[in-house]
Chain A
Amino acid sequence: MAYDYEKSIRPGKLPHIWCPGCGHGIVMKGLIRAMDTCGLEKNNTALVSGIGCASRLPGYMDYCTLHTAHGRAAAFATGVKMAKPEMTVICVGGDGDGTAIGGNHFIHACRRNIDMTYVIMNNSIYGMTGGQFSPCTPTGAKASTTPYGNPDPTFDISKLAIGAGATFVARTTAFHATQIDKLIAEGIQHKGMAVIEVLDDCPTTYGRRNKFRSVVDMMKRLKDIAVPVAAAAKMTAEQLEGKVLTGVLYKEDKPEYCEQYAKVIAKAQGA
């Protein structure tokens, strides 16, 4: 049976601004299915984003939505969650927004293990500003500010999140559409900081400059580089060269930030 996406979409706010072939819409559909799976109450759920193409997502969704400043989603979301811990808080955004200008807030939200879900759409580029390189642009790739090829090393967002202290970290790609909602749902249900990295495609500002002749080529690449964690365990280092692990990469139970602060309140009030 076809899924009813319309019940989650804000009336009158489509069409979206994303270019043909962009993977963000696939992620949004996955997010809608995940939020529905988790039975989230619209009034009690905040969707928070920064700036950029991916960060326009909340505007299309019928929840409490907060489109903030470049890179600041996790910090705004921290304020919302702290003030109202009973709310479900989900951040969405791109790789540049989340790990360059927003890198500090991202790693510290992970460190606190605050109960939120951060969906990062990693398309390796700054799309909205016209294709400048991001911390996730592959070394050597072309971008509007790397005309001779990108000299910068590249971030591994999932490893960064694990290293910073996030207690649920998963990765998938825009090609693996049915895995997106499963991982996001698991992240929402996890108590603590959940990071779901979705490798995404930007045909307009990345593909065009980097010899992807079509969106299909970009999707094919996402399909080819993805290796499920279980399969990777049986592969050699040589076979894993150039591949990206997908699935749940890390999961642990650790004290959650707002619960810890509730103990501070109890102590201050003499409990």
Chain B
Amino acid sequence: MAKKVALLQGNEACAHGAIYAGAKFFGGYPITPSTEVAEVLSNELPKVGGKFIQMEDEIGAMAAVIGGALAGSKAITATSGPGVSLKQELIGYACIAEIPCVIINVMRGGPSTGMPTGPGQSDVMQARWGTHGDHAAIALAPASCQEIFSETVRAFNLAEKYRMPVQVVYDEIVGHMRERIVFPEPGELEVVERIAPTVEPKDYKPYDASKGDVPPLAAFGSEYRFHVTGLNKAADGFPTTKAELVDAEERRQIRKVEANAADIESNEEYLTEDAEVVILAYGSTARSARYAVNELRKEGVKAGLFRPITLWPFPEKRVAALAQQAKAIVVPELNLGQMILEVERVIKGNATLAGVNRVDGEPINPGQIMNKVKEVM
């Protein structure tokens, strides 16, 4: 039988991806340009016995998502820049308490209210450093409607596998564009389930890392009873200020991502094998960059595209290697230079580095990228 196909907006694809991944709980608060994710989930979740709740504000939405996740549901929220800012404290809570959940951020211009219907890529550092304290972060940046579907599924998988919040960040252009989607069959994409504890209930410790950096998480309302707090805690979940325990706990939570970077990372490379200039771009900007690469090749310029799909953890090793090979790296992004700082940090001066930036609500077009490439070559 032919697969189901549809013409969907990126945001709609996101909602269907969440259902495919087994999402059973959505808590949110309306904000443009992310609202279609909520609208579609309000329609789809009850069909599969899931719950949709529109909360009183963004903070309440994030709180409800964590509560729903703790009660055993795969949980998701969708928002945009200012909404993510409001959610940050509780994203940090989900980090320290190690509660799996997915946060969709459809990026618009900003700061503050900015351009609610204009695209931006200016939350990429917010996805990494938005909340307070030291913690690891996972953020995925799809560039097409089909990929929003599959990356949303992967976000749930990573959240459940590594027991932490995972963000999916894409700009308004990808969120609102319509493309043909081929729905994967059940079983076609991997769907990861939470690792449940197997110990006797009386022996359960929610942060017992003696068997690995990701301890199993029981659900409230199961046979396991435990304590959850946002305070630094010992293996049993109860607060501690004991220096060695706090230190070990913080480092473990960062290590569980760093040590598994190879499993978490996903990148696309296009004509980079012999590239003398590498364009590093993500989201909708990468689509313009790919076009620019093709045009430049026609003109005899050895250009290639490196597209990080996983923004965080940042693909340090591969970007550093590309800088050894290429003469220049060009980073187009819909902000005034955020991810380029990360590129600068890892390439250590081994290639000429230049940015192409816009914050006027217009997409970066291939011509702009081509001009910059010619300028630096």
Contacts and interface: CB of A to CB of B under 8 A. Distances in A.
Nearest to B93: A69
Contacts of B82: none
Contact of B238 (A13, A64, A86, A265): A13
A75 interface: yes
Given A65-B228, A69-B93, A83-B71, A75 B55 contact: yes
B90 interface: yes
B223 A43 contact: yes
A46 B227 contact: no
A83 B93 CA distance: 19
Given A68-B66, A79-B67, 20 more contacts: A43-B221, A43-B224, A65-B227, A65-B228, A66-B67, A66-B229, A67-B227, A67-B229, A69-B230, A72-B59, A76-B64, A78-B64, A82-B25, A82-B51, A82-B53, A83-B73, A84-B71, A84-B72, A87-B71, A264-B46
Contacts of B47: 268-269
B63 A75 contact: yes
Contacts of B220: 46, 64, 66, 80, 84, 87
A261 B46 CA distance: 9
B221 A79 contact: no
Interface of A: 10, 13, 42-44, 46, 48, 58-59, 62-69, 72, 75-84, 86-87, 104-105, 107-108, 261, 264-265, 267-269
B56 A108 contact: yes
B173 interface: no
Contact of B56 (A62, A86, A104): A104
Helix, strand, loop or mixed for chain A's interface? helix
B133 to A, nearest CB: 13
B225 interface: yes
B59 A82 contact: no
B206 to A, nearest CB: 11
Given A82-B64, A268-B46, A72 B90 contact: yes
Given A43-B223, A69-B230, A108 B25 contact: no
Scoring B24, B64, B73, B224 by chain A CB atoms within 10 A of each residue's CB, the highest score goes to: B64
Contacts of B24: 83
B196 to A, nearest CB: 15
Interface in B40-63: 43, 46-47, 49, 51, 53, 55-57, 59-61, 63
Given A82-B25, A104-B57, A105-B56, A69 B71 contact: no
Scoring B24, B59, B67, B68 by chain A CB atoms within 10 A of each residue's CB, the highest score goes to: B67
Contact of A84 (B56, B221, B226): B221
Contacts of A63: 225
Contacts of A59: 227, 229, 238-239
A42 B230 CA distance: 22
A94 B112 CA distance: 32
